[in-house]
Structure 1
Amino acid sequence: MRIVLVEPLYDSNVGKVCRVMKNFGFRELYLVNPQAPCGAEAEKYAKHAVDILKKAKIVKTFDEAVKGCYPIVGTTASLHKGESELVRPKPLSKAIGKIKGKKTAIVFGREDIGLDKDTLLKCDESIYIETSGDYESLNLSNAVAIVLYAFRLRWRDEPAEERAGPRLMRQALLCADEAVDAISKELLNPVKCKRALKNAIVRSYPTSEELRTIICVLKRFAKKMH
């Protein structure tokens, strides 16, 4: 599993994240345009997880950080009222049982503003940690620790099944878009339909065989409607 930090601000948090990653057995860290220098102070806070810090990949864009990953799981501080069901985050306790895949990427936003809506829309799932309504925001490293602990417990008790990989998933989503385009004139909101279809496919975590069947059906549908 890959941990992605988007524009982290403080070396102390980067170091602490490396430390909790090692605590729970996760080693792959990507940093998107870090605002922190990731230097001596980060090493101090990483303690015995300096190896994770030194092997961390620094990239310029979110797309680079999640390339080859599926599912991509974004994190947010809380449930925002009024959001569409298509983009509304789920509580970690309910989402954890459904998220499967060896290529999973868990994405955390910067300490002051979190992940913006455009980035969350690029994620296959979005989750939040249920906290007291009095104060919802968690320190970055604490949030990472809670999420990784939840995944460690779940994977220990129930090993993830082999699921379709990101390349096949991209092909399926392209076919889904083409199917919607084929009947777009009959739809009130094709963009919303594409999002809903994407969510239905991605969040079912299909096997490769299941996804190939879906692709075949979508291709035949689009061909027949053109």
Structure 2
Amino acid sequence: MTLPLAIIAGVGPGVGAAVALRFAGQGYRVAMIARDSVRLTAIAAPMIAGGATVTTHPADLSDHGAVRSVIATILAEHGRPSVLIWNAALWDETAALDIKVDEFDRQLRLGLTGAVTAIQAAAPAMAAGDGGTILLTGGGLALAPQYGAAVPVLTAVKSALRGFVYASAPSFAARNLRLGTVTIAGQVASGTAFDPEAISDAYWTMHTRADAVVEHVFDGR
């Protein structure tokens, strides 16, 4: 029997790695995507040593062509995914009046529109099978954007992401796809209430819950 597949895009040493480990621990094959191939390999190594089935796929997630290509490669090599998680974003403290428009666009691609490209590449295969779960990592600044002055672009991206999920979830459900967001309402740090391992449980809960909840706000409790 082939194990289910989870694609996790935007894997770093924090939340992305913890979510990958969580799904691998539940018996999923995990395909991890990020730009830094060396870091991906380092994250995957102990998981593979522990018996998990993990593959790494370097790609620039702000590049729509690269996103389409890497999803196509994963589908061709590993088959239909049951889960797609988008965890890519950038913390950038450039003031709104100073940021270059091209850079704003790049961060929007990284945090949201690249996710849409990945979804459109993976969703037909997911819907043609048994359906599946698509989760986008949200942020607390989408709940209280007035506190996002230090990171205006990230605040805009996470606000748009939350709106996209709420507006689109019903149409996804009609195709047997759960679209949701895990909104992390605090600063991620190991050993705190916002430890990546604790946060990873929210992704598993969203994937496995029977009701049609669109958002899980992780507030450290």
Q: Do both proteins adopt the same fold according to a TM-score greater than 0.5, normalized to the shorter chain? A: no
TM-score normalised to structure 2 length: 0.39
Of structures 1 and 2, the larger Rg is shown by: 1
Larger strand percent = 2
TM-score normalised to structure 1 length: 0.38
